[in-house]
Amino acid sequence: MERLRQAQLQWQQLLSSESGRGWYMPPVAIPPKSASGSTDPPVHKIPGKRRTVIARHGPYQSEYHGISKGYQGNSIRTTKYTLISFIPINLFEQFHRAANLYFLFLVVLNWVPVVEAFQKEITMIPLVVVLTVIAFKDALEDYRRYRFDKKINNLVAKVYSGKQQGYVDQRWKDVRVGDFVRLSCNEIIPADMVLLYSSEPDGMCHIETANLDGETNLKQRQVVRGLADQGFEMTPEKFTSRIECESPNNDLSRFRGFMEHSNKMRVGLHNENLLLRSCTIRNTEEVVGIVVYAGHETKSMKNNGGLRYKRSKLERRLNVDVLWSVVLLFVMCLTAAIGHGLWLSGLKDPPFMIPDDTSPVLAGFYMFWTMIIVLQVLIPISLYVSIEIVKLGQIYFIQNDADFYNEWLDSTVQCRALNITEDLGQIQHLFSDKTGTLTENKMVFRRCTIAGVEYPHEDNARRLELYEEQDWDDEALPASLRKPRPRMQSLSCNSATSMNSHTPCDPEPGHQGDPQDTPSPRHAAFSSRMEKEVLPDPLLLLKLNTLSSPELPLLDGGGDASLEITYIVDFFLALAVCNTVVVSVPQQKQHTLQIPDVPRTPLKSLEDLKLLFQRFGIPRFTSISPSGAETSPGGNNPTRFAQRIFSRTSAVPPPSMWMDARGEEPQAAGSRAEQAGGGAEWVEVGPVYEAESPDEAALVHAARAYGCTLRARTSGQLVTELPGIGRLPVPLLHVLPFDSTRKRMSVVVRHPLTGEVVVYTKGADSVIMDLVAPPKGDAQTPEKHRDIRGETQRFLDEYAREGLRTLCIAKKVLEEEEYETWLKHHVFAETSIENREELLMESAQKLETGLTLLGATGIMDRLQEDVPETIEALQQAGIRVWILTGDKQETAVNIACACRLLRHSDRLLTANCSSKEACEVLLADLRAVIHSSRPGPGLEEKAGFTLVIDGQTLDWAVQDGLEEAFLELTQQCRAVICCRSTPLQKSQVVRLVRDRLGVTTLAIGDGANDVSMIQVADVGVGISGQEGMQAVMSSDFAVSRFKHLRKLLLVHGHWCYTRLANMTLYFFYKNVAYVNLLFWYQFYCGFSGATMTNYWVLIFFNLLFTSAPPIIYGILDKDVSADTLLQLPELYQAGQNSQAYLPSMFWFTMLDALYQSLICFFIPYLAYAGSDISVFSFGTPINTSALFIILLHQVIEGHTMTWLHGVVLLGSALFYFAFTLVFSVICVTCNSPANPLGIETRYMSDPVFYCVCALTTLLALLPRVLYRCVRNSLCPSDIVRGSLLDKLGLDERHARIQNWRDGRTHAGPLLTTTVTDPTLTGGHFTVCSANTRSVLS
Amino acid sequence: MMASSYNAKEEDGHHSGASGPGGGTAVKSKKPDNTAFKQQRLPAWQPILTAGTVLPAFFVIGLIFIPIGIGLFVTSNNIKEYEIDYTGIEMSSPCFNCSQNFSWNSTTPCKCSVSFSLDQPFESNVFMYYGLSNFYQNHRRYVKSRDDSQLNGDKASLTNPSKECEPYRTSDKKFIAPCGAIANSLFNDTLDLFFIDPNGTRTRIELVKKGIAWWTDKHVKFRNPGGNNLNLTAVFIDTAKPVNWRKPVYELDTDQENNGFINEDFIVWMRTAALPTFRKLYRIIQRKNSMTPTLPRGNYTLDITYNYPVRSFEGRKRMILSTISWMGGKNPFLGIAYITVGSVCFFLGVVLLIIHHKYGNRNNSADIPN
């Protein structure tokens, strides 16, 4: 018990910092997720700045103008520039880049007469080109934004006009604060408005926030309290109330203020009264609201953050090398300056010197700057532009990879960050979320325990296994063949005539495609068949059916049995009502079901209940639970039942029946196609649940399988159907929504059968278990209760071990007076304007005490397909995989087993401790354990250890002093599993590992709780799945499945890295090789800064003649084929170790460049020395050879040659020749003094010229070719071996890969040792058994 | 937010099903095209440099380079060249006196003559060069100091030359034509060649002074101002001669086709040399007939009008006589280099062959096929 307490305490502490994982969401908040993680927005106290809003056309016209003067209109402008400001602002922004500044500096330098090297215009060319390219890109982007803005600003909404005394069409941009806006179904909200009127009963309104956060489930909004009740007439002229609210801020989940009516009465305004701009009205015929924030002051616009800029590892490395280039430049210039000074000092007025009285020292100083201009190309300025282009190209190819395409979601990979593609190839640590990332996040009810009795739901388990195969087959189907899932719930407005839900609000007619053809896009709301169809447990069904069976009276005396029945009924009732699920029926007139006229029958006791059952249950509902029929003592014949169910002549049975009927014989489902066809109709009729989290939906569906169907829901009432009873109205008194602190939610209802006020609570087991207390009064129950609690805990542990997500269900019966007292507090809290959240929380906590435990559920979340294979491949690629999850330890370990992160042979090190000291000792002990059991030589050292650490311990471990030990420990482990970790901890761990170990990290997750981790990691990957778009929005890459990570990293990551690394090195090489030619010439021109090259050619050489090939290679080069990379994940390690771009590689390349430039200069020099060659003629063979050398060097360094490469290489060479030839023909007096007239034509018709070029080119490239082929022959790198494999036929390749594999993984299995530690307070040890695995995988 | 989220959708190609202004466009599958280009499956040649793949290339290069090298070497060796330094550094040199007292403006030319003998006859056309050493015609500021427009006959530039010519832009308040340091430092030694018959008579050897400049320079780049106006004196009336010149530009030659800016000596000088030691074509000695060599064996005298000072920068002046071939002047370097590189390649080919046989097979048995 002590241990349990401890765990609970820890759990609570964890929970206090965790926020919305997603299994239930507050019903009205948009994403509470935005408040998650370390980036909590500062709490906005309302007594800060306020704004007052009064109706624009209301009675206080004059006052209106005074108040609203400072408020922004609704037009938006997201563009950065206007036509006029484009050039100055864009230039200003561009000159924020150091590279551009450097070039500007050079241009300015060239204007200084004493150091001027070239004509002024020529130095400006690179800068102008770079600026123009970037400006063009910016302008294009901005223009696109401008068009969007314009489109949005010109959307039309119905706005109240004072002149016409009615609602008229107005463009969005003309909407002002204080305007009344009337919206119909499926219209987009133009500005943040307070909801004043809704055509729905109770003033409800539904909005879809997909445009805001991608969640497609509906959120409820509520008319301002009081207005709906009074039957408020929406005549803006008479609207005398004034609204006081917070100044505009970006907190989507919070809105505070009050409305002051003319009688000075104040009504609080909350988030549920606010309609947010860019959301869509759904399922509500008409709403009216008053604009409070418009345009850029709306919450959605305030949330419009800019793109984040991450710097990749390679880029950091590159910057270091750019600095080295600067050093090199400095040295070269200094050499020239000193040389010039010395040279000058030895001369006395020669005829070739232009007389001036500059001293040699000063001349040397000037020369330094001149040389900086001359050798400017050494700083690879074009590299930055090229890298940007290359990354765009790489992203283009990643996004076009058909393997990432997900038929089901019709989505492919999204690259949101444009500048870290190469980091994908260098990942060393991978941090993965569990739920929704490794698993499907398709919650399926698996089993439950009620009143201490476990119902294993064997059939259900079998069914799930069956679906597994089916489902994955399903996904292989092309989208067009699959039946689209219609989204029924949001279409059923009276005004909407068609079923197409995706385009009803399209402002531009004619754009509507055929929505029926579209595969269903992602949505959180709908559940697949697998989630909906739950096979009831026979025993439980039997018990439940006693309700409707005639034998019920027999149970009269049996206290235990009847108690159990009440538990069961309450349990299912709780499942059905304790949620925020929105119910809708597509083909009915109203989307949210109207409450049918069910007479409320207040019943006082269980006796009465039974009587009631007897009275009107049997004749009508005898066959309600058909699947239990065969075992039912009533002896219903299943065949007869089926006949009845499927006979078309009979009256339409209750919709839930179909579910049950289907559930009856799942294995026969295929053979009864025609019946299924008949059944499909009913499904359309049946209620459709839209839950904010998959867990909720799963539970409601589970309840429905047992006949406890949630039929309809309004703000004040729920309609449920109970087996054997039929439809019952359940007055809904309160919903205490889920929040991450409480980690539970409750509903307060009036029990339909007993009439008592009942609180149903569902929440995390640790929380609920703490709140459970024996019900007072009843004498026999304490022991019974303790039994139930103990048993339930036992089952909970079992569920967790099985990898199920557990939830506890509890209830509490309130005395009327008790309720009244609480109600008073609660109403106070609700209506209070200040501190509303705090008071509400307090009120909820007050209510949720002394609960009676009903039972617990186990919800299964399947692993995604190919997860084990992917994890295995990633591990083979040398990536350390960590799982960070908020789940329980057992669940986490189990999933880890299932996805083969843990292997049979692995040893599990569990770290759970209660204090920092204990933690310290434990870490040391664990290290000792690893040390002592270190395998002998020849075996891989780190194999076999997996650390499991819980959130509490993690907290200690990442603190000062211990993190070293912790990291050291984790370094010894193959995998680390952090369970029960909060979002903050997740990001802490990632940051710790990233900073301390200096490794490249990748975080992958799908939910809002992963956002901080995704942002911290070097590469953040979001899974666009069930949990909304938060993770995707903050990610750098978004994929739809975990398995895509494999190709993304192993193939694209590897390619991107190799390509970019090679290109970067090549750029350095190219610049150094070329610039050194100019440098060597200085030794023959008195260090005077003269060049032997035509200035145009000099500038264009980098800019035009040799810029395209590296870009093409950067985008398209492929060292190893995708196939081989996937099959040999080991090849990934080359990127991890930065093998393609090590510092040594840089210097090696520099040396090669130096050598090549020496050859390229001195061969022509020796060939022409002493001859009558003129300055710019001398440059011709040098330039031409340099071009050949540089292009051929690219071919040697590249790995592939496609026709595209060929075209570009050849094109570059031809372009050079064409340019120089044409230039030398037409340029008569231009470009003085480097007038090229006649030079090229003369030399290019000279055989010696070609002899020189051939010799130079060959000799320059010889060492590199030699090095490459000797290296590749003597000790080929893995990459080379991999690419050699590509040349083989398919079969042989497979055989060789197998060989390679076998040669590498010779490590034998290790002994399994349980590591127990005396300081462990809650250590568990789990062996991955075949049993658990089969359940999960 | 909204605008950006729409943007994002467009960019990402992601449809969330939202029926916003961005999302309502005709829906089509986002599935990427399965083309070889987009899926990066273009047929490619994958050059992997291994000993096995490269060694044939080495042999081939060796086999090609060595013959070319031999050809170049032989050609270069067949070129006859004679060089004589007439700077007059040493006391014994006949031009010593001239080199000592020098002034750009001396009116009395200093003359000296140098005798030499040719051991072998020069058979074909002989090119006569003057060579300068340590003369940095490629100095950055020197190279710039000219006005191509002026030299191209542009009237406006004639009387208002480019600033680049400073300080040789004006003289006596008149603009200099041709302006600039290059023109100003025009080589102005006169060389005459005499054949000394065994009987002692001096025969003047005819030196052709036309055809020494590039055709493009003579006919396109350099033009006298005033078009076909033959009266150059009138054309250049408003200009001053370069400071160091003895006579104005329109008196460079009596032949109007070789006078003014299109004087070929001038054009040759204006094409600045690439390296501090250079030669420039001075005259051509044309072969009279196929029977007699252009320059027979025997003694010669070179008469020099010594005008050009080189001692201030420790320069040297040379006169070079050379026959030329298709590969230009005598230069054994290329031939030797070709032979060397060819041999090295051949040798490396052998080394690679050994490597290939020793290691290529080993790799073959493990992983590496060839």
- Interface pTM, i.e. ipTM: 0.90
Q: How far is CA A270 from CA A29, A45, B10, in A?
A: 10, 13, 33
pLDDT of A463 reads: 75
- Residue B46: both structure tokens together: 């994958």
| Bigger pLDDT: A331 vs A1275 | A331
Q: Most confidently modeled of A174-178, A964-968, A1092-1096, B126-130?
A: B126-130
Does residue A121 or residue A946 have the better pLDDT?
A946
Find which of A135-139, A615-619, A774-778, A809-813 is predicted with most confidence, using mean pLDDT.
Answer: A809-813
Nearest-CA residue of chain B relative to A143?
Answer: B7
**Contact criterion met (CB < 8 Å) for B21 and A1288:** no
**Residue B3 and residue A1299: Cβ atoms within 8 Å?**
no
Distance CA B105, CA A956 (A): 94
Backbone angles phi, psi at A583, to 5 degrees: -105, 135
When mean pLDDT is compared across A74-78, A151-155, A449-453, A1161-1165, the lowest value belongs to A74-78
Quick one: pLDDT band at residue A595, thresholds 50, 70, 90?
Answer: very low
Rounded CA-CA distance A1336/A800 in Å is 12
pLDDT score, position A959:
78
pLDDT exceeds cutoff 90 at A1160: yes
Q: Chain A: residue nearest B345 by CA?
A: A1262
Query: Best mutation site among B143, B155, B283, B368 for testing chain A: the one with the most A CBs within 10 Å?
Result: B143
Q: CA of A938: how far to CAs of A935, A1275, A1305, in Å?
A: 8, 21, 11
Question: For strand A453-455 and strand A439-450, is the pairing parallel, antiparallel, or unpaired?
Answer: antiparallel
Q: Lowest-confidence range among A45-59, A192-206, A1247-1261, B115-129?
A: A45-59
Q: According to the model, what pLDDT value does residue A530 have?
A: 64
pLDDT at position A231 is: 54
**In the prediction, which pLDDT does A420 show?**
83
* Lookup: tokens for B192: 């005459």
So what's the pLDDT on residue A1162? Answer: 94
H or E element, residue B240: strand B239-240
In this prediction, residue A529 has a pLDDT band, given cuts at 50, 70 and 90, of low
User: What does the pLDDT average to over A1037-1059?
Assistant: 90
- pLDDT tens, B118-166? 998 998 889 999 999 999 998 988 988 888 888 888 888 888 888 888 8
One-letter identity of residue A141: E
Is residue A1152 over pLDDT 80?
yes
Position A588 scores a pLDDT of 43
Averaged pLDDT of chain A: 74
CB count within 10 Å of CB A305 equals 11
Q: Is A1009 annotated among the ligand-binding residues? A: yes
Nearest to B62 by CA among B360, B368, B340: B340
Predicted local confidence at residue A1167, as pLDDT:
92
As a whole number, mean pLDDT of residues A491-514 equals: 35
Distance CA A596, CA A390 (A): 64
**Sheet strand arrangement including A257-260:** A50-54, A242-246, A257-260, A266-269
What is the pLDDT averaged over residues A284-302? 82
Shortest CA gap B107–chain A (Å): 19
Residue A3: the pLDDT is 46
CA end-to-end distance (rounded Å), chain A: 33
Of the candidate ranges A144-153, A199-208, A1181-1190, B343-352, the one whose mean pLDDT is the lowest: A199-208
φ, ψ at A405 (rounded to 5°): -75, 135
A442-453 mean pLDDT: 83
| CA dihedral of A835, A836, A841, A845, whole degrees rounded to 10 | 100
* Both structure tokens of A732: 């809904």
- The angle formed by the CA atoms of residues A800, A805 and A810, to the nearest 5 degrees, is 100
Q: Do B130 and B319 meet the contact criterion of CB atoms below 8 Å apart?
A: yes
Is A570 among the catalytic positions? no
pLDDT for A1329 equals: 35
* Contact yes or no for A1130/A874 (Cβ under 8 A): no
State yes or no: A110 annotated in a binding site.
Answer: no
B84 close to B116: Cβ distance less than 8 angstroms:
yes
What is the pLDDT confidence band of residue A1207, given thresholds at 50, 70 and 90?
A: very high
Q: What is the pLDDT of residue A652?
A: 37
Q: Which pLDDT value is given to residue A1080?
A: 94
Contact at 8 Å (CB) between A691 and A525? yes
Distance CA A1204, CA A1199 (A): 13
> What pLDDT does residue A274 have?
86
**Rounded CA gap, A904 and A1326, in Å?**
10
pLDDT at res. A1315? 36
Q: What is the dihedral of CA A407, A411, A413, A414, to 10 degrees?
A: 180
Q: What is the mean pLDDT of residues A944-950?
A: 82
| SS3 assignment, position A986 | helix
List, in order, residues 6 or more apart from A366 with CB less than 8 Å away. Answer: A114, A115, A358
Note the pLDDT tens digit of each residue in A4-24.
Answer: 444 444 434 433 333 333 333
Query: Residue A640: which of A654, A630, A651 has the closest Cα?
Result: A630
Per-residue burial over A311-341, b if 16 or more Cβ lie within 10 Å, else e, is: ebbbbebbeebbeebeebbeebbebbbbbbb
User: Nearest CA of chain A to the CA of B140: how many Å?
Assistant: 4
Q: What is the mean pLDDT of residues A165-189?
A: 85
Q: Is the pLDDT of residue A1319 over 50?
A: no
Residue among A76, A97, A33, A92 nearest A309 (CA): A97
Catalytic position from the list A213, A321, A433, A1317: A433
Q: pLDDT tens for residues A18-51?
A: 333 333 333 333 333 333 333 333 333 445 577 8
**pLDDT range class, residue A1311, cuts 50, 70, 90:** very low
Q: Where are the alpha helices (DSSP H) in chain B?
A: 2-12, 51-78, 96-100, 140-144, 148-151, 155-159, 181-184, 215-216, 232-235, 264-270, 332-355, 361-366
What is the Cα–Cα distance from A1316 to A1318, expressed in whole angstroms?
Answer: 7
In contact, A197 and A234? CB cutoff 8 Å? yes
Nearest-by-Cβ selection for B17 from A188, A502, A1171:
A502
- A412 to B312: CB separation less than 8 angstroms, yes or no: no
Residue A406 three-state SS: strand
Asked if the peptide bond before residue A731 counts as cis, ω within 30 degrees of 0, the response is no
The pLDDT value recorded for residue A441 is: 72
Task: Using DSSP bridges, classify how beta strands A257-260 and A242-246 pair: parallel, antiparallel or unpaired.
Answer: antiparallel
Task: Give me the percent of chain B exceeding a pLDDT of 70.
Answer: 87
**pLDDT tens digits for A980-1033?**
787 788 888 888 888 888 888 999 988 777 878 888 888 889 887 665 666 777
Structure confidence at residue A1216 (pLDDT): 93
**Alpha-carbon distances, residue A79 vs A140, A156, A329 (angstroms):** 11, 21, 40
In a 13 Å sphere around the CA of A362, the CA atoms on its Cβ side amount to 5
Average pLDDT on A242-260 reads 80
Is A352 annotated in a binding site? The answer is no
User: Is 0.80 topped by the overall pTM?
Assistant: no
**pLDDT band at residue A56, thresholds of 50, 70 and 90?**
confident
Question: What is the CA A1154 to chain-centroid distance, rounded?
Answer: 46
Confidence at residue B321, expressed as pLDDT on a 0 to 100 scale: 93
Of the two residues A98 and A899, the one the predictor is more confident about is A899
* Terminal-to-terminal C-alpha distance of chain B: 58
Q: What is the pLDDT of residues A297-343, one digit of tens each?
A: 887 777 655 445 577 888 888 888 888 888 999 999 999 999 999 98
* CB contact (8 A) between residue A412 and residue B31: yes
Whether the link from the prior residue into A26 is cis, omega within 30° of 0, is: no
Give B47 to chain A, closest Cα distance, Å.
Answer: 6
Structure letter (DSSP) for residue B120: S
% of chain A exceeding 90 in pLDDT: 11
pLDDT value, residue A309 = 59
Count CB-CB contacts under 10 A for residue A1241.
16
d(CA A491, CA A1113): 51
Residue whose C-alpha is closest to residue A628's, from A561, A537, A548, A703:
A537
At A859, phi and psi to the nearest 5?
-110, 135
pLDDT digits 0-9 by tens, B338-349: 999 999 999 999
User: Is the CB of residue A521 less than 8 Å from the CB of residue A409?
Assistant: yes
For the ranges A731-735, A893-897, A901-905, which has the lowest average pLDDT? A901-905
pLDDT of residue A283 exceeding 70, the answer is yes
Closest by Cβ to B275, choosing from A145, A1169, A1204: A1169
Residues in chain B closer than 8 A to A482 (CB atoms): none
Tell me whether residues B27 and A1173 touch, CB distance under 8 A: no
